[in-house]
């Protein structure tokens, strides 16, 4: 049933393309049209109550704004049953930008709060098929990206990181086959758009991204626990709302997991639940997409504090008025202002954030001052990431990737 929504979902692209040029995406519309559920205060409170952890700012501020069946996971958790987390990354570039870190930051919080295992899929196969890269390069990038992911602080006793090229086989491949046996080319056309001109490698890939949603793909972790539920944190750009569907190459889109949820009961598994984040804007604003070919469209985890300062000052789209006098009179527009949006993602202190928003929107605070605060916040975050990444050794990567039981993963 859910795959039928996919055809309709493609139409959704247009309204959001239309709304994005004003600099603000209408997330309410998006939730309605995609048929997912909103993350509201009640569900955030419930998570806090169940985990006894203060909610992550991404939850407090509605940055993760939509879900599918998160309540089912929480109901079972309340009744004493655990679940596992699944997320991933397509290793297509050497260094990650801040937008790439967002799902991993929330995943780290969820892992700690719920004390659950996590599997992370690195789709080196996908990037070979989609990007113009050699297999050797995809494998190298997967390992390099694993270091950035590990630097987010995951617990090796609860986390299994795998690359498709190494891990697909055995029980995992059995699930790939089960999925592949239940999806037609017609279903797939609803996900990709046209497929007839595409290479046949791409046709099997959605089944490979679906398989980690099923616990029996990991017999070293979940033996005999085939009904264990799975929660997938992922980013909104994986809805693919920016750009035209036929040119969108990103494969972690919501439609992929709708396909997975469709197939799950047919092959004897629970449907995976999803928790989905807002789009992280390019420095130039929400109407543009961060692009690897334009290093000035994003802040990278490898940027120096000088680069961060220069990029924020020069490129971050500001809604400040043309002159100080005018700004004092009219103030900034919080809905489209990129420094404000970035602070919303990364400034931890709620009171300070509210204060900045108020002062800026009422014209007492100037763009330059907001940018200065943002530069400090991002420089600290990136420097912390760089320190953590420098500590990640090849042995640590091997330990995360080792196919071995994690006996204390639920403890």
Of residues 23, 55, 90, 285, which one binds ligand TRP by CB under 6 A? 90
Of residues 43, 142, 252, 365, which one binds ligand TRP by CB under 6 A? 252
Of residues 232, 340, 353, 366, which one binds ligand TRP by CB under 6 A? 232
Query: 193: phi > 0 → left, psi -120 to 50 → alpha, else beta; which?
Result: left
Of residues 88, 255, 285, 332, which one binds ligand TRP by CB under 6 A? 88
Minimum CB–partner distance for residue 389 and ligand TRP (Å): 19
Contacts to ligand TRP from residues 277-336, by CB under 6 A: none
Minimum CB–partner distance for residue 72 and ligand TRP (Å): 18
Binding of residue 159 to ligand TRP (CB under 6 A): no
User: Do 6 and 261 form a contact (C-beta atoms < 8 A)?
Assistant: no
| Residue indicated by tokens 């290093």 | 295
Strands 37-38 and 64-68: antiparallel
Which phi and psi (to 5°) does residue 230 adopt? -125, 135
Of residues 107, 145, 178, 209, which one binds ligand TRP by CB under 6 A? 209
- The window from 2-10, 120-128, 375-383, 402-410 that contacts ligand TRP (CB under 6 A) reads 120-128
Beta bridge partners of residue 387, listed in sequence order: none
Q: Around 346, how many Cα atoms within 13 Å sit in the side-chain half-sphere? A: 23
Binding of residue 123 to ligand TRP (CB under 6 A): yes
In the bound state with ligand TRP, the residue whose beta carbon lies nearer, of 162 and 222, is 162
Cα distances from 385 to residues 165, 183, 372, 392, in angstroms, run 27, 40, 20, 11
User: Do 181 and 210 form a contact (C-beta atoms < 8 A)?
Assistant: no
Binding of residue 210 to ligand TRP (CB under 6 A): no
Binding of residue 273 to ligand TRP (CB under 6 A): no
Binding of residue 251 to ligand TRP (CB under 6 A): yes
Of residues 19, 87, 277, 344, which one binds ligand TRP by CB under 6 A? 87
d(CA 289, CA 281) in angstroms, rounded, equals: 7
Minimum CB–partner distance for residue 91 and ligand TRP (Å): 9
Binding of residue 250 to ligand TRP (CB under 6 A): yes
Of residues 67, 89, 271, 389, which one binds ligand TRP by CB under 6 A? 89
| Residue indicated by tokens 């939730």 | 31
Of residues 3, 19, 121, 159, which one binds ligand TRP by CB under 6 A? 121
Binding site for ligand TRP (CB under 6 A): 87-90, 121, 123, 126, 209, 232, 234, 250-252
């Amino acid at each position: 049933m859910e795959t039928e929504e996919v055809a309709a979902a493609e139409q959704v692209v247009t309204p959001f393309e239309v709304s994005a040029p004003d600099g603000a995406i209408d997330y309410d519309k998006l939730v309605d049209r995609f048929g997912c559920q909103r993350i509201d205060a009640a569900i955030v409170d419930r998570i806090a109550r169940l985990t006894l952890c203060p909610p992550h700012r991404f939850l407090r501020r509605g940055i993760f704004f939509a879900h599918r069946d998160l309540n089912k996971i929480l109901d079972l958790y309340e009744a004493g049953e655990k679940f596992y987390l699944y997320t991933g990354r397509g290793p297509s570039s050497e260094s990650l930008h801040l937008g790439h870190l967002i799902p991993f930051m929330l995943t780290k919080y969820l892992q700690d709060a719920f004390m659950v295992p996590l599997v992370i899929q690195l789709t080196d196969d996908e990037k070979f098929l989609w990007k113009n890269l050699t297999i050797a390069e995809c494998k190298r990038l997967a390992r390099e990206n694993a270091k950035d992911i590990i630097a987010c602080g995951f617990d090796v006793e609860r986390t299994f990181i795998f690359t498709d090229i190494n891990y697909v086989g055995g029980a995992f491949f059995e699930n790939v086959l089960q999925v592949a046996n239940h999806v037609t080319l017609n279903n797939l056309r609803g996900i990709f758009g046209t497929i007839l001109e595409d290479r046949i490698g791409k046709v099997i890939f959605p089944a490979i991204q679906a398989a980690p949603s099923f616990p029996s793909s990991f017999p070293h972790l979940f033996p005999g626990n085939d009904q264990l539920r799975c929660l997938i944190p992922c980013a909104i750009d994986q809805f693919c709302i920016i750009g035209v569907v036929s040119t969108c190459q990103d494969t972690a889109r919501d439609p992929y997991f709708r396909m997975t949820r469709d197939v799950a009961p047919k092959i004897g598994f629970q449907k995976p639940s999803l928790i989905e984040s807002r789009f992280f804007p390019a420095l130039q604003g929400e109407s543009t997409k961060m692009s690897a070919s334009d290093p000035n469209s994003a802040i990278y985890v490898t940027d120096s504090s000088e680069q961060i300062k220069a990029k924020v000052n020069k490129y971050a789209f500001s809604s400040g008025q043309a002159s100080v006098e005018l700004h004092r009179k009219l103030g900034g527009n919080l809905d489209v202002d990129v420094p404000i949006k970035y602070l919303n993602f990364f400034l931890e202190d709620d009171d300070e954030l509210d204060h900045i928003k108020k002062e800026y929107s009422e014209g007492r605070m100037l763009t330059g001052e907001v940018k200065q605060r943002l530069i400090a916040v991002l420089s600290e975050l990136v420097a912390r990431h760089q320190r953590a990444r420098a500590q990640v050794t090849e042995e640590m990567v091997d330990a995360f990737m080792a196919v071995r039981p994690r006996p204390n993963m639920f403890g």
